[in-house]
Amino acid sequence: MTEKLYYLDAYATKFTAKVLECTEDKKNWKVVLDRTLFYPEGGGQPADMGTLGGVKVLDVHEKDDIITHTTDKPLEVGAEVEGEIDWERRFDLMQNHSGEHILSGVICAKYGCDNVGFHMGKEMITIDLNTKIPEEDLPWLEEKANEAIWNNVPVGIRYPSKEELAALDYRSKKELEGQVRIVNVGEYDCCACCGTHVKLAGEIGQIKIISSQNYKGGTRLELLSGKRALQDFRKKNDVSAQAGQLLSVPAEKVDGAVKNVLAERDELIQTLNQLKWKYFNLKAEQVAEGTENILFFGEGLNSKDMTHFADLLLKKGAKRTAVFSPSGDGFAFVLLSTEKDGREFTDAMKEPFSCKGGGKPDAVQGRVTGAKKDIQAFFEERGFLVEE
């Protein structure tokens, strides 16, 4: 059994311990100590990192009360070593884990639901709840959770007896056996938990709900606390300020300015489409009567444009029409046919032009790489008239 020093003092950063085991595991080593400050991954909380006897601790896991440290170099068995955890990482995890407790406690108390999932990622914290939370309730829930921070409520840790536990109203995601560790945050939460936490809610700084979505019949919330929440605010505030500068409006009026820009864009797109289709009609009128195979190169055409123009040419009497437009390092194309199978062209273009695409006998589309003159020569050899 490894003595768990992180439960004695979650704020301690350095300790000494004896190396009991050190075994090679692929490119790393597995080290077991008689005692440790390194919290092992578990309960949704990632493991601590840091150094141990001068080598890096990359991961930490627990099995059968034995805590194993993954290190990048070996340590001598029997040696006394000094360990130091990455405090910035530890405190970040403490802030976010404690923030999650408070928000989950507030939500579960209001809706009578359960927190059925919890994950602390590198960037975001997610909690899954087995109830649907109305979007309009989120501001109240967020403010209620932050109330614990404003009141600087103590975060208590206790190990109740079986009798005390039986009478206690607490949250837990699974059936528990043996000694149960209870984390209590005043009226806001009471939950069984093995993680590390702050002593006072004020240390969390703030709790911010980032997003909400339907998930497996319930709700998944993304949230941030502490420094992560501050960094997220700074980033979004900077983006908002920059957008305001580009749009020549104060940051608080960016949403209205963006709506105006999008409306103007939609009008311009509609006008552009009208002009393009007038142009297509004019080009189709210029094609000589009786032209059966037509190849056309156009700039800035999307698949809808190419299909529309190719269809116009068919209506003018052509039997096969191929329309190409520059795209990336090659060309996108649409080929329509009223008689022969157009897929023979995608097959024939695979080797010389790395053609990727396909479709039905009367309509194929795809992409090719190669020079315009080579594509033109390919189609001219097959009886196509080039239209510019």
Model confidence pLDDT, tens digit, residues 224-279: 999 999 999 999 999 999 999 898 888 888 899 999 999 999 999 999 889 988 88
Average pLDDT over residues 148-176: 88
d(CA 329, CA 256): 38
Q: Is the pTM of this model over 0.85?
A: no
d(CA 29, CA 58): 10
d(CA 307, CA 296): 12
pLDDT at 388 over 80: no
Among the residue ranges 81-90, 139-148, 335-344, 365-374, the one predicted with the least confidence is 335-344
**Edge-to-edge strand order for the sheet containing 115-120?**
115-120, 125-129, 218-225, 207-215
pLDDT at 174 over 70: no
pLDDT at 54 over 80: yes
pLDDT tier, 175 (very low <50, low <70, confident <90, very high otherwise): low
Helix (H, G, I), strand (E, B) or coil at 213: strand
